[in-house]
Structure 1
């Protein structure tokens, strides 16, 4: 898929579980003021889905969009359920993947509740230095829930 192409748009049912073999995507929603709020990034060798939409077959409240040219593999819910029956160990694998996704989400929430915005940025850069080079700064600001101007100020302080 090409840069800026969507895997998922708001109000559509998410029918696939994607594995990113190469590339980078973001998941986001648009708030009531029209601002994009990035909730996660997924890159090479990561799984991405809108779990609620995928499992419950309900319309998504999120978008998933490629940030750069991205190659994905995907499974439908029906294919995944059939694989669980045919290869029971896969169900365990996907449970572990789902648990890791949940842990990452909880960790992000904990970090956001416990850290000042400047500390969130420095923690992000320290833990994902190569990632920061691949993502536009305004997207990082959205993910960290800070303004692009404040992010620029923080970046100037580190130079």
Structure 2
């Protein structure tokens, strides 16, 4: 995992092995089983998670019982509920493993400590956060400006790994369409 983290972070700033070792020592490696929760809805998110292996979804169970999936994350992605993590409030969303998933999880306190010891890490996370905001903005624009069929084709084109690893009903939830309609689109 150290080599994986080294390669990932060096996309954003120049990190050496000493930096990576310090980051690694300030985190905890945790493996979650399929369907196990990294974060339960209405709990405080205590970690930022770097996914070394596996797949997770972030979602909310509505009062109606429907699941509304807002994000997926795979290897070499970070995931957290930022509002809950930063403000230490209950999360409106849950984060759940969809496969056996291994993460490096870092607490807010340890992350702040790392920012003071390795200032370029804060810069790297700023760039990572900007990229995540851009991705969410593009997703929202796509949902507002494209029909369901175009949203699905865009999803498969931009994230081909997901279409093979994620159940179709979850993709439908993420795209805000019914599973039945997604099935019709896929038949075409």
Residue 130 of structure 1 and its aligned partner are, at CA, apart by: 2.5
2:117 matched residue in structure 1: 86
Normalised TM-score (structure 1): 0.97
1:136 matched residue in structure 2: 167
Instruction: Find 2:141's aligned residue among 110, 116, 131.
Output: 110
Helix, strand or coil: the match of 1:142?
helix
Instruction: Find 1:74's aligned residue among 102, 105, 110.
Output: 105
1:65 matched residue in structure 2: 96
Residue 30 of structure 1 and its aligned partner are, at CA, apart by: 1.1
1:21 matched residue in structure 2: 52
Matches of 1:18 and 1:130, distance apart in 2: 20
Matches of 1:44 and 1:60, distance apart in 2: 23
2:75 matched residue in structure 1: 44
1:150 matched residue in structure 2: 181
Residue 29 of structure 1 and its aligned partner are, at CA, apart by: 0.3
Normalised TM-score (structure 2): 0.82
Helix, strand or coil: the match of 1:98?
helix
Matches of 2:179 and 2:167, distance apart in 1: 10
Q: Deviations over 1:32-62 (max 9, x none)?
A: 2110000000001000000000000000000
Question: Is 1:127 aligned with 2:137?
Answer: no
Matches of 1:6 and 1:129, distance apart in 2: 25
For structure 1, the 5+ residue unaligned runs are none
Q: Deviations over 1:89-122 (max 9, x none)?
A: 1110111111111111111001101100111011
Residue 150 of structure 1 and its aligned partner are, at CA, apart by: 0.4
Question: Is 1:31 aligned with 2:57?
Answer: no
